């Protein structure tokens, strides 16, 4: 579902019915084309995307016993890797990352592989998910 103003009840019903929730913003001026593309990629990967203030409604009450082990970074990411990780979160390909950073495709691929290793992730989506959980990426 991609809509500009759903009632929270509709979003909850769609979520419970396993209908993908694409994105919600209060104004079309609040969202960039890159954010829409990233939301579509996330939805295609089976993720639900919505503003934090709405997502909180779907979370269970805070309970210390519910928290699993804290994820750790094997090695800190370099500033360039942080840039690349943010572009991964936008859904950019290696070629698009290379173009945006004015580097070769090979160098972009090297940075992506380094990020995957440092975050102990098997896929780009997993790296982005871990980056979000670790507070490396702001959504």
Confidence bin at 25 (pLDDT 50/70/90): very low
**Measuring CA to CA, which residue among 76, 93, 79, 75 is closest to residue 34?**
93
The average confidence (pLDDT) of the chain is: 75
Whether the per-residue pLDDT at 65 is higher than 50: the answer is no
More confident residue, 67 or 118: 118
Distance CA 48, CA 88 (A): 17
User: Measuring CA to CA, how many Å separate 2 from each of 11, 16, 113?
Assistant: 10, 16, 32
The predicted model scores a pTM of 0.51
CA dist., res. 119 & res. 73, Å (int): 5
- The residue among 18 and 89 whose pLDDT is bigger is 89
- Residue pLDDT, tens place only, 75-120: 899 999 999 999 999 999 999 999 999 999 999 999 999 999 999 9
Please give the Cα distance from 53 to 23 (Å, whole number).
13
pLDDT(126) > 70: yes
State how far the Cα of 28 lies from the Cα of 100, in Å rounded to an integer. 25
Tell me where in the chain the CATH 1.10.10.10 domain(s) lie.
Answer: 79-133
Q: Which CATH fold topology does 79-133 show?
A: Arc Repressor Mutant, subunit A (1.10.10)
Coil, strand or helix at 43 = helix
How confident is the model over 5-15, as pLDDT tens digits? Answer: 555 566 566 55
């Amino acid at each position: 579902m991609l809509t500009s103003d759903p009632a929270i009840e509709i979003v909850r019903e769609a979520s419970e019915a396993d209908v993908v929730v694409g994105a919600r913003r209060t104004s079309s001026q609040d969202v960039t084309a890159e954010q829409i593309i990233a939301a579509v990629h996330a939805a295609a990967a089976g993720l639900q995307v919505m503003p934090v203030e709405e997502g909180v409604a779907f979370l269970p009450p805070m309970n210390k016993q519910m928290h699993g082990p804290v994820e750790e970074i094997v090695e800190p990411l370099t500033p360039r890797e942080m840039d690349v990780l943010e572009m991964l979160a936008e859904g950019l390909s290696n070629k698009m990352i290379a173009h945006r950073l004015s580097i070769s495709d090979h160098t972009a691929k090297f940075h992506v592989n380094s990020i995957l290793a440092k975050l102990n992730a098997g896929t780009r989506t997993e790296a982005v998910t871990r980056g979000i959980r670790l507070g490396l990426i702001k959504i």
